[in-house]
Amino acid sequence: MKKLVKIGLMMLTVAPLMSCDQQNSSVMPAKKNSNDLSKFVNEIKADLIFVQGGEFLMGDYGEQYGPEGLPYDGKQDSNPLHKVELTAYSISKFKTSNKQYQLYLTYNNQYRRTVNKENPGAKKWDELSMTPQTPAHVDWNEAQQYCQWLATITNLPFSLPTEAQWEYAARSRGKFVIAPTNDGTIQIDKSGGNVASEKDSKEYAKKMGTSLGVYSPLPGNLFPPNPLGIYDMAGNGWEWMKDWYDPDYYKHSPLKDPQGPDNPVYKDYKGNYTKVVRSQDFSGPRRGLTITRYFSDPKDSGHLPSDKTVRCVVNSPKPVR
């Protein structure tokens, strides 16, 4: 019998991979193949989930609509609860994989990011990038450039999702669900569940021959999608949003298709302006709330983006054929 694990707001602290000496990899890109690109475009289109537009209440709805009548978020930046109207769009059912990102690099004559082999983080970074079906790890600029490239090769208006688009999709068109899973809960059990456990990550790392252990990413289709058919929104890597982060943005967010602040607003403790990230770095019961906001330096200055991923949207009110 599956055990329902209550979602808390405990933070899982992970030492980031340092990258003061980032450099291009000595590994040459794979040979280009026009058939590969055509197949890739078809796969990208097939993996899009159409999200019908509509209105919803964005933010921490726990006090007004949660069964306990209490806030879900211990922070104030997910308040106030406010109405948002979104135009229809499509969103990728998966985070971008290493295989997909490598093809992008190949067709743009770019190299996979790496670090000097003397850096203690080099091995783990290589291991994060070696498994084709696990999420690619990128900074915000790399994520944006990837979505822009998809727009170029498909002639579709691809972009990073706005924070409102992500939350609306995670909540299955704005329903009052706190976990972006198949049933709105987090379930972990020895025989399976709807999000990854530490055991799942350790077993996958062992299977793939990596030393990542509990921090190993997983293929995106191992666990059930949410009711819209979108996978992996409860973990397996933070997802970059288009928006600049502003802790007070919900106080003056526009009603129709909010895009976030026009200019940078909020700096982290290092003095870097920040973008919004959603989802969570690793799966489990600690986070993954559909309403919780996080932020990160878009350049991941001083570190490799070892916990940041990308999922693109198509800003078209009609389904992609």
Mean pLDDT, residues 206-214? 94
Q: Report the range of poorest mean pLDDT among 86-95, 110-119, 158-167.
A: 110-119
| Structural domain count of the chain | 1
Helices and strands of the chain, counted as H and E runs: 7, 14
Residue 320 has a pLDDT of 98
Residue 231 has a pLDDT of 98
Query: Is the model's pLDDT at 300 over the cut of 70?
Result: yes
Residue 146 has a pLDDT of 99
Is 287 inside a domain boundary? no
Is 275 inside a domain boundary? yes
Query: Is the model's pLDDT at 304 over the cut of 70?
Result: yes
Instruction: Give this prediction's pTM.
Output: 0.89
Cβ contact 160:313 at 8 Å: yes
Q: Report the range of poorest mean pLDDT among 101-110, 150-159, 260-269, 275-284.
A: 275-284
Residue 187 has a pLDDT of 86
Query: Is the model's pLDDT at 270 over the cut of 60?
Result: yes
Residue 133 has a pLDDT of 96
Q: What is the pLDDT of residues 289-299, one digit of tens each?
A: 899 999 999 99
Is 170 inside a domain boundary? no
Is 25 inside a domain boundary? no
Q: Report the range of poorest mean pLDDT among 8-22, 92-106, 304-318.
A: 8-22
Range of the domain at 130: 38-164+234-281+292-314
SS3 243: strand
Residue 157 has a pLDDT of 99
Residue 116 has a pLDDT of 80
Q: What is the pLDDT of residues 17-55, one digit of tens each?
A: 444 444 443 344 456 777 889 999 999 999 999 999 999
Mean pLDDT of all residues belonging to the chain: 89
Is 6 inside a domain boundary? no
Instruction: State the pLDDT confidence band at 7, using cuts at 50, 70 and 90.
Output: very low
Is 220 inside a domain boundary? no
Q: How does DSSP assign 252-281, residue by residue?
A: S--SBS----SS---B-TTS-B-EEEES-S
Residue 80: asked if its preceding bond is cis (omega within 30°), the reply is yes
Is 57 inside a domain boundary? yes
CATH number at residue 157: 3.90.1580.10
Q: Whose CA is closest to 217, among 230, 238, 201?
A: 201
Is 296 inside a domain boundary? yes
